[in-house]
Amino acid sequence: MCKIARPAFVGREDELVQLGRLVRRSRLVTLVGPGGAGKTRLAVELAARTRGAAMIVLDSCETGVEWCAELADAVLSTCSEVRVVVTSREALRLPSEVVFAVGGLPRKQARQLFLDRASAKVPMHLTDEICARLDRLPLAIELAARLVGAIPADDFVTHLDDRFDLLTLGDRTSPHRHRSLRACVEWSYASLSADEQRVFRALSVLPESFDLQAAEAVCGPGTVGVLARLVAKSLVIGTDNGFHQLESFQRFASLLLTDEERVIVEDRFVTWLLGFAREFTESAYVPAGYLERLARFTDHFRVGARQHLTLAVLHGLCLWARGDMAEARRSLAEAPEGSRAEQSMALAQRAWLACADGDVDEARQLGERAVAVARECESRLDLVRALNIVASLQLAGGAFDTARDIYVEVLTLLDDPLDIASGQHNVAWAMMQGGDPDGAAELVRDALAVHRRYAEPPKLSAILHTAGTLALWRDDLPEAHDRFTEALHVAPENIYELPYLVEGLAITATCWGEPERGLRLFAAAQDLRTSARCEMDPTWGRLVKDTERSARMQLPLRDAMVAVAEGRKLTRDELIGYARDGAWPCAASSRGESPLNEREQQVADLVGSGHTNRQIAQLMGIAERTVEAHLMRIREKLNLKSRAQVALWTVGVEALTT
C-alpha cells in the first residue's frame, strides 16, 4: 500500500519557531483559537519538527475540557520527560499551562495558501479579498480554493454571502467538523450553554467590532460574564478597544436568530444608537466636539443606518468627518424612509455634503426641499438647519445680502443664548463679506461676549477667528494678531479651524514685514487643509492668496522656496508653537539655509549652470539615473514643477513659480 502525501504545510513559520522555544521551556503548551484556524495541523507539524523529546498531542480538547485537563495533569505528574501539546478552542486552565493564541493567517500567508490549493489562477486583489472575507482562517481558505474554476473569480466574493451553502467540499477522510464551514462553526456553537448561545446570536446585529456598552445594550443584563466566556471559548475575540467577531461566526449567528429575537435585539440596538442622536436632533447647531465623540461608533451607525433615517444622518456625519465624502453622500441617498421632520434633517445634511463636495446645483435643490419640508411639518430646529445650509450656499455664490437675510430669519427661530450668539456670528460673517464690516463688528462683539461665557473651545475659536478677520479689514493688525493667537490657545486641537488661524497669523506676519514667517505659515496651513480635507471659504481664500503672493514678491525666489519647504516640514505641535510665539523650532533657522542635502545641492547648482543630466553624471561620477532621482527629490523638497524652476531657484531669480 502506498502512502498518500498530505498537502504541503503553508505558512506559520514564525509561530513554529515560537512554539519550538515554548515546548523546550514548558511541558504543557495549549494552542487556543477559533474553529478552522489550523490548530491541529500546526500541532502535528510542531511534533514532526521537534527532535529529541517525547511529545503527546491532545487534539480538539474543547469536547471534554475537564477530563482532558485531568489527563494532561496525570501525564505531566507521572512522565517527567514527556511534553504535552494541546489544541482546543479554550484553555485547560492548569497551573503549568502556557497558552498560545492561533488566529487567522497574515495576509501574505493567506494568499500563499489559497494559491497553493487553487486549481486555477486568481487575480491577487481578488485572492486577498476572498481571504479577508473568510477571516484568513486556513480551513475556510482551503474550502474556497477547491471551488476555483467551478465559479468565476469575479463572482466569487459575492457568493461568499452564502458561504455556508458554498464551502462544503472538505476532505472525506477528515473529521466531520472539518468537512464544511458550517460543520466547523456548528461544532463550536454546540458546545455553548443556552445563555452563551443567546448572547452569541444577539451579537450578530452589531458590527464585527464593538464595545461592551453596545453588547450590553443589545444583549441585556448579565452580558459581561457571558461575553467573557465567549472570549474564553474563541467565539469572540477580545481587543484593546473592545471585542471583535469573525465574519463567518457573525453570519452563522445571524442565521440562527428567530424572527422574534431579531425584532427584539434590532429594536434594542436602534434605541441605544438613537440615544446618541438626541444631542444632535435637539440642537440648532452641531454641538462642539460632537463628531469626535461619534467617530468611535462609525461602524455601529453603518449597521443602524439600514434601519433608521436619523442613524443614516449620523453615519453620514461620521463618514464626512473621516474624509469619506463619496460614501457619506451614497449612504444618505440610500437611507430608509422616515418622518417628515427626519426627511427634512436628512435633506439638509445631504445638501451640506453636496455643497462641501462642490456639487452646488444639487446642494441648492436639496436645501430648498429641506426648507419646504421643515416649514410644512413646523419643525423649528430642522428649519434652522435647512435655512443655515441655504444661507451658506448663497454665501458661496456671492449673494451676501440674501445670505444675511436668511441668517436673520434663523435668529427669529432661536431662543437659547448661545444659539442666538452663533446665529449673530453667521449674520456678521455675511455682513462682513457684503461690505458692512462695522455692522459685523458690532454683532461679533456682542456674540463674542456670550461665547466667552458659554461656548466650548471649538465654537469660541471660530468666532475669535471672525473677530480677527474683522480687525484685518480695519487694518488693526495688533488686534487681529491677538484674536488669532487667542484662538490658537483656546482650541489648538480643532483640525478644521486650525488652518484658518494659522493663515490669519501668516497674513499679519506678512503685513508686518515678515514675509519669511508668513510663507512658512501659509505652507504649513495648506498641508493642514490637504490632510484634513478642509475647503477654504471663498472670500477668505482670496485674502490668503493675495497676501501669500505679496509675501513671495518680498523675497528672492530661492529664499521664498526655502521658507515654503521649511513650513511644510513642521510637525503639528511645532507649527502651533511657532504660530503662537514666533520661535522657529527647527535647526535650519537661518534665512538662506537650503533644505537640500550636500549631494542634492551639488546637482541643483550644476542644473543652474546649464549642465545636462549626462554631463552632471560624468562630473560627479554617478549614474545618469541617480541624477534623475536626485532631481525628483529636489523638486519635491522645493515644491517645484520643472527643471527650469530648479535652475531659477539656484540663482535666486525673483519670480513666482507657476
- pLDDT at residue 226, rounded to an integer: 93
Helix (H, G, I), strand (E, B) or coil at 28: strand
Over 80: is that where the pLDDT of 27 sits? yes
- pLDDT at residue 426, rounded to an integer: 94
Report the chain's terminal Cα–Cα distance, integer Å. 80
Over 90: is that where the pLDDT of 500 sits? yes
What is the C-alpha to C-alpha distance for residues 207 and 299, in angstroms, rounded to an integer? 6
Per-residue pLDDT band for 595 (boundaries 50, 70, 90) equals confident
Residue predicted with more confidence, 640 or 78: 78
Angle between helices 557-569 and 643-651 (to 10 degrees): 110
Over 50: is that where the pLDDT of 588 sits? no
Full DSSP string of 357-401: TT-HHHHHHHHHHHHHHHHHHT-HHHHHHHHHHHHHHHHHTT-HH
Q: Which amino acid is at 582?
A: G
**Cα-atom radius of gyration of the chain, to the nearest Å?**
32
Residue predicted with more confidence, 98 or 653: 98
**What is the H or E stretch that residue 56 is in?**
strand 54-58
What contacts 356, CB < 8 A, 6 or more positions away? 320, 325, 535
Residue predicted with more confidence, 551 or 52: 551
Long-range contacts of 583-589 (CB under 8 A, 24+ apart): none
**Which DSSP state fits 177?**
G
Over 60: is that where the pLDDT of 656 sits? no
Q: Of 174, 165, 254, 156, nearest to 207 (Cα)?
A: 254
- pLDDT at residue 6, rounded to an integer: 61
pTM: 0.71
- In tens, the pLDDT along 373-392 reads 999 988 898 999 999 999 98
- In tens, the pLDDT along 320-353 reads 877 788 888 988 888 888 889 899 999 999 998 8
- pLDDT at residue 632, rounded to an integer: 86
Exposed, middle or buried by CB within 10 Å (0-12, 13-18, 19+), for 258? exposed
Over 90: is that where the pLDDT of 291 sits? no
